[in-house]
Amino acid sequence: MPSDIPETADYRQPEIRQARLGDAFDIFNLIKANGDRLIVRPIGDIVRNIDRFTVASSGGKIVACASYTVWPEPGDFENSMVELTSVVVRDELRGKGFGAQFVRHLVRQVSRLNPALIIVLTYTPAFFAKLGFAEIPKTEIMHKIYAGCVNCTKQVNPFTCPETAMGLAVSAFGSSVLSKG
């Protein structure tokens, strides 16, 4: 965890916004500090994809970040999927409802692309289930498996990977996900 965040930082009202290039180093550190739960990303990858990142800042520091990847459905691009990736809330801020608020923001954001499904691969399925995601068989996300999981630095077999695949249909958001803050 980055050590340069002041004890006095106000974690109560983080501002959620698009990431800027100047956030890249903090994003790198936040993801790296949670490398047991996330795929660690090289700084160059973060910088090249900075426009895909959303962050939350508090006390001038980054306290949450997330990104997304589009997985094309060949020949049927309207039915492509969007995967939420690099979703992390700084540990001091956890358990206060901010993660849910942050992910609801992300869901609203990527839903503007109108994907067939928003997916996530996660060690914390219970958290995403509370936001309306449901477990899906990994065989339903084969383009993610072939193009993404094959490059994984942690697991050799996506089907024995301990991460749970979950999906949320854009058409099934309903007011329960979108109406909250």
Residue 101 · residue 80 · CB < 8 Å: no
Sequence-ordered list of residues with C-beta below 8 angstroms from that of 158, at least 6 positions apart, any chain: 138, 145, 149, 152
To ligand COA, the closest distance from the beta carbon of 94 in angstroms equals 3
| Stretch (H or E) spanning 167 | strand 164-169
To ligand COA, the closest distance from the beta carbon of 85 in angstroms equals 8
Of 35 and 76, nearer to ligand COA (C-beta) is 35
To ligand COA, the closest distance from the beta carbon of 45 in angstroms equals 17
Out of 130, 143, 154, 180, the residue judged to bind ligand COA by CB under 6 A: 130
Of 38 and 168, nearer to ligand COA (C-beta) is 38
Q: Read out DSSP for 71-133?
A: E--TT-GGG-EEEEEEEEE-GGGTTSSHHHHHHHHHHHHHHTT--SEEEEEES-HHHHHTTT-
Structure-block tokens of residue 104: 């609801």
Tell whether residue 99 is a contact of ligand COA (CB under 6 A). Answer: yes
Distance, first Cα to last Cα, the chain: 27
How many binding residues for ligand COA (CB under 6 A)?
A: 20
Tell whether residue 98 is a contact of ligand COA (CB under 6 A). Answer: yes
Q: In the 8-state DSSP scheme, what is residue 146?
A: H
| Sites for ligand COA among residues 2-61 (CB under 6 A) | 34, 37-38
Task: State the Cα angle at 158 between 156 and 163, rounded to 5°.
Answer: 115
Distance CA 38, CA 31 (A): 7
CB closest to ligand COA, residue no? 99
Taking CB under 6 A as the binding criterion, the range among 1-9, 46-54, 94-102, 167-175 that sits at the site for ligand COA is 94-102
To ligand COA, the closest distance from the beta carbon of 5 in angstroms equals 15
Out of 52, 94, 105, 138, the residue judged to bind ligand COA by CB under 6 A: 94
Q: Which residues here bind ligand COA, judged by CB under 6 A?
A: 34, 37-38, 87-89, 94-100, 120, 122-124, 126-127, 130
